[in-house]
A = this chain, B = another copy of it.
Amino acid sequence: MSEKKLITPRKLAGFMELEPSKQIIFDEMTEKIKKVFKKFAFMPLDTPVLEYSEILLAKSGGEIDKEVYAFTKGDTNVCMRYDLTVPLARYVAMNEPTLTFPFKRYQIGKVFRGERPQKGRFRELIQCDVDIVGLEQLPIVADAECVNITCEVFKALSLNALVHISNRNILFGYCESLGLADKTIDILVILDKINKIGREVAMEELEKIGTTSMQANDLISLTLKQGTFESVISEIKDLSDNQLYQKGISELTELHSYLKAFGINENSYTCDIGIIRGHNYYTGTVFETYMPEHLDFGAVSAGGRYDNLTGYYSNKNMPGVGVSIGLTRLFDLLDKNNMLKTKSTEIELQIIPLGDTLTNCLELQAFFKDRLICEVNYDNRSFKSKMKEANKKEIPYVLIVGENEVESGEYSLKNMNTGEQITISKEKCATFIKKNNLLDRLTDLKQKYQKKASE
């Protein structure tokens, strides 16, 4: 190797790569989310990472956004998917005749965005999406189901979260009723950033694009309405008799009745007319999830209703509603704020040979294999450095197997946290560890409960 020039091992910037002890936690979160999706009878879909550019770039008329990884292979123009929604649209348009509608699918997978890497921005992201797609029609209860799933996901992740819900028809209709229909997009862009720029600047900007100061004031007041569905709806329902506006009010009211039927905790959602969502394709219900104790995280999931998902690919009208949880970003935020449950290994037992007992240790591993997550430390190092390694890996129990132990069938089991050591048979060992793990978990639960109770 001495002649060869070494290549410095490095990874592309903006790509998350976790150490295994953190990957375990990431995977656990993925599993919890998947479990919620499945519980609500969503079916899995796995579309390819690569698609024809023509398909993925339909929205921009084929123009390549600089954030999209696009390239040519042979004579085919391809793109890496930048979300899971456009591939879903392609999938349902392509397979419409064989699908049962409403089509409810979940997909958890990587998407790619070649933006300039910066703090908290990733180029490879794992998104967890559920969508419900109807054929010709899709009732509002589907929107409620997506909100319900969002609440269940954050509950499953033990994260305190609040889903802010609105309906875009309210602001659309209000603009229309003010005679500002042609300025709607520009107005929404300004209202969308009201929390960042503040009321004063928003006023100025609205007036700059041609609203009167009274219109600007009214628009901002409406946007700032937030509270329980009952209070917000009763405050705003008579502000305008515009048809679109009233459609928004009535959809929001219907949605709320379903949220109550689902029995969602009322502290988990709020009505917030300021939820706008940048994406232009949302056409009704829109919602974003925030963590009240960590508003600096921004929205940790978002979703809404789009009335013509497959418009670029099919003449059939297929309305949809969905929610997307950006797990990579959420995980990164939790990690940076020390909010991850620490758990550096899933290994429950390490068997350490002492003397010439390697094959005996393998036999023991085979005995334990369906009872415990267990490994043999077969490294050719000293006993002492093996113990050190087990410690570094944060293994909770170590079974020491010397030649005398093999003869007697009684082994030394060491609790690596307390240092306690007992002598035990293989049969009792598995039960002992399982029992102690259970006790540990019960203690954790008890502490958690006491902490909650004292709050």
CB distance from A257 to the nearest CB of B (A): 6
Do residues B102 and A15 form an inter-chain contact, with CB atoms below 8 A? no
Contact B263 A363 (CB under 8 A): yes
Given contacts A17-B48, A48-B15, contact A389 B100 (CB under 8 A): yes
- A17 and B16 CA atoms in complex are apart in Å by 26
A11 touches B48 (CB 8 A): yes
Q: When the two chains form their complex, are residues B362 and A261 in contact, meaning their CB atoms are under 8 A apart?
A: yes
A141 contacts partner chain B, Cβ-Cβ < 8 Å: yes
Residues of B within 8 A of A76 (CB): 12
Q: Are A315 and B6 in contact (CB under 8 A)?
A: yes
Q: How far is the CA of A341 from the CA of B57 in the complex (A)?
A: 38
In the bound complex, how far is the Cα of B123 from the Cα of A76, in angstroms?
A: 14
Query: For the complex, what is the distance from the CA of A378 to the CA of B365, rounded to whole Å?
Result: 51
CA separation between A413 and B393, bound complex, in Å? Answer: 52
Whose C-beta in chain B lies nearest to the C-beta of A367? Answer: B263
Q: A26 — which chain B residues lie within 8 A by C-beta?
A: 46
B45 & A23 in contact (Cβ 8 Å cutoff): yes
Given contacts A262-B362, A312-B7, contact A12 B373 (CB under 8 A): no
Alpha-carbon distance A74/B286, docked complex (angstroms):
35
A338 smallest CB distance to B (angstroms): 19
Which one of B17, B134, B373 lies within 8 Å of A46 (CB-CB)? B17
A residues 1-59 in Cβ contact with B at 8 Å: 1, 4, 6-12, 15-21, 23-24, 26-27, 38-41, 43-52, 54-55, 58
Quick check: A366 and B261 within 8 Å, CB to CB? yes
Contacts A55-B7, A311-B4 given; does A48 touch B378 at CB 8 Å: no
Given A7-B58, A261-B362, A312-B4 in contact, is the A46-B18 Cβ separation under 8 Å?
Answer: yes
Q: A12-B76, A20-B43 are in contact. List 5 more A-B contacts (CB 8 A).
A: A15-B50, A38-B373, A40-B375, A41-B375, A49-B80
3 A-B pairs with least C-beta separation: A41-B375, A71-B71, A20-B43
